[in-house]
Amino acid sequence: MMWRLLGGAALVLLVIVSAVIGSDLLTKQSEWDRIASPYGFNIARWGFENFFDKWEYKLKEVLSGSKLSEGEAQLAALRTERDRLEDQVEEIIESQISGVLADEGLSTTWKLGGEVELIFPPVDFEFEDRPNILIVSPRDRIEIVDTVLLRPGMSLEEMVEIEEAVGALDHSGLVEPLGGVATYPSIVPQMPSLQDLLSKVAHEWLHHYFFFRPLGQKSWSNYDMTTINETAADMAGNEIGLMVYERYYAGGEEEVSPAGEQEPAFDFAEEMREIRIAVDEYLAGGEIEEAESYMEERREFLEANGYYIRKLNQAYFAFHGTYADSPTSVSPIGDHLRELREQSLSLGDFIRTVSGISSYEELLKMVGE
């Protein structure tokens, strides 16, 4: 375990330094930071505290001299057992994903009294409530102006308050929970689907891996690079998650065959793509109010068909559009990355290749565009 501690500690320090460099300690706060400041999430503090949380707990156990009532003792025992089980599950999943990554040739040779093949950065995540994120976009185009991490557990009223403050500055704002966060350890929520959980853990690890390579270092240089980063992590993360699931868990659940003929399902993906294209056309023609009225009308239509989206606006499409394999994106980057994956000898080869991309132009050259 020492190699994981050392490797993880190095990454924690890098994440903290990166967070500090990007914080108001060295730069002025943006207007969006000030709006969101009462609900801010300190990513550097979370990473530091949670990396050492197991050691901190053991230390408190030893040093604590306080006596608990019988009820408090029972509650503390239940919490301890819950944390112990969570730690075990996290360790098992981390080990299984690490095994698949090693088989894909993504391990590194370290000399630790001999040559040892290790995964760097180590796969490390924590089950945790998801932070929220504020996304800010201009009203006249779909583009991320800024994002601000917010604490978990915000009320609807608090979200709306922030969004209205952004709107008062003639921008489109959206607050919603993140699927996961590539802190170190990464934040991953409990999920009902095991395969989705495995894919999410792998997705966040890929951001850790990209962090040390051109793709991660250029991720926020422009919208295209952000899209390449997120889409590559999504594609490869899903593939890793499926590989882990099939290796360790497939066959444990009975497949349920559909009974009889079924009516064609509502095509949410196609509907979202059509909405996005129409919104882009409205905005290109300077029809901002018309675009916003149209999005609200389509949001109500989606809700009537069983797909609830709290707020559908420019910020929604700007954020979800960074995943070029999603129906909210009209970017060709998803197709380019799928072509690159098809050209690759293996998943590991694809991950190594895409991690070296430092511009959209490089991706285009790789796929012969």
* Domain segments of the chain as ranges: 2-63+74-123
Using a 10 angstrom Cβ sphere, with 0-12 exposed, 13-18 middle and 19 or more buried, the burial of residue 46 is buried
Q: Can you tell me whether residue 331 is helix, strand or coil?
A: coil
**pLDDT for residue 20:** 41
Cis upstream peptide for 121 (omega within 30°)? yes
How many angstroms separate the CA atoms of 238 and 26, rounded? 37
**pLDDT for residue 221:** 87
CB 209 within 8 A of CB 355: yes
**pLDDT for residue 62:** 47
Entry field: residues in the chain: 369
CB 123 within 8 A of CB 205: yes
- What is the maximum alpha-carbon separation in the chain? 70
What are the residue ranges of helices labelled H in the chain?
A: 2-21, 31-36, 43-51, 53-63, 70-103, 156-167, 194-211, 214-217, 223-248, 268-284, 288-304, 314-320, 333-343, 347-355, 360-366
Query: Which residues, given as ranges, of the chain have pLDDT below 70?
Result: 1-28, 44, 46-84, 111-115, 252-264
**pLDDT for residue 328:** 75
**pLDDT for residue 19:** 43
pTM: 0.80
Amino acid (one-letter) located at 91: E
How many angstroms separate the CA atoms of 304 and 322, rounded? 27
pLDDT tens column, 124-144: 999 988 899 999 999 999 999
**pLDDT for residue 250:** 82
Query: Residue 169 contacts by C-beta under 8 Å, 6 or more apart in sequence?
Result: 31
